[in-house]
Amino acid sequence: GAGVSQSPSNKVTEKGKDVELRCDPISGHTALYWYRQRLGQGLEFLIYFQGNSAPDKSGLPSDRFSAERTGESVSTLTIQRTQQEDSAVYLCASSLESGNQPQHFGDGTRLSIL
Amino acid sequence: RKEVEQDPGPFNVPEGATVAFNCTYSNSASQSFFWYRQDCRKEPKLLMSVYSSGNEDGRFTAQLNRASQYISLLIRDSKLSDSATYLCVVIYNQGGKLIFGQGTELSVKP
């Protein structure tokens, strides 16, 4: 498809387990961003990738969170030893380049930690 | 102080009404400004960019006042389908990460 694709769309897991979330950006988009949105709250920036530059990890809430991106394609966000407060919708966005370009969002992964 | 602040909601208006949303941002180095729309339990979608000269897209008008660090969105002749949360969004560094306001909920009633 032409849009940002995220998988899985829903994930339910037990506290303490690791989870991996996937994002396929729009083809040709060099910048990729991860955000988190807790229920009833605004969006929080987590991390962004631009080409081969070092990622901006300033929004990652703890060292349990990490993300990787291969070139200018797929990205995975990994949460280790999940906690209940990790329950949220995790949104991925991509844009043509970092800076002032508008970002286009995927449908998100709804993560629920039991 | 939050980096991006919006009017508290919800706004409940009748169809056909004109409604205005306001937003202030704290970082004077902010570079780009957008309004996004988010429907319940859906991802944010770009509504429009905001330019210093002001810009209009159909029933929607966005304005930016850099001196006052203030952004606005005006919706004329509101429709039921306009019901959503409207997010004020700012970019203020080279990286381009979006800083979101908390959003203002709009409910348009028949």
With beta carbons under 8 A apart, name residues in chain B contacting A9: none
Map residue B1 onto helix, strand or coil: coil
| Lookup: tokens for A104 | 């286009």
A82-110 pLDDT, tens digit each: 999 999 999 999 988 766 677 889 999 99
Residue of B nearest to A103 (CA): B46
CB A78 within 8 A of CB A66: yes
Q: Please confirm whether the linkage preceding A55 is cis (ω < 30° from 0).
A: no
- How many residue contacts between A and B have a Cβ separation below 8 Å? 59
Question: Residues of B at the A interface (Cβ-Cβ below 8 Å)?
Answer: 31-32, 34, 42-46, 49, 87, 91, 94-103
- B67/B85 Cα distance (integer angstroms): 26
Q: Measured between alpha carbons, how far is B88 from B36 in angstroms, rounded to an integer?
A: 7
Are the C-beta atoms of B98 and A41 separated by less than 8 Å?
Answer: no
What pLDDT, in 10s, does the model give residues B54-90? 899 999 999 999 999 999 999 999 999 999 999 999 8
Instruction: Report the gap between the CA of A46 and the closest CA in chain B (Å).
Output: 9
Residues of chain A with pLDDT under 70: 1, 98-100
Closest Cβ opposite residue A48 in set B42, B97, B100: B97
Summarised one tens digit per residue, pLDDT across range B20-48 is 999 999 988 777 899 999 998 788 888 99
Check: CB of residue A45 under 8 Å from CB of residue A59: yes
Question: Is A104 in the B-facing interface, judged by CB distances under 8 Å?
Answer: yes
Q: Which residue in B has a C-alpha nearest to residue A99's C-alpha? A: B96
Residues in chain A: 114
Helix (H) or strand (E) holding A113: strand A109-113
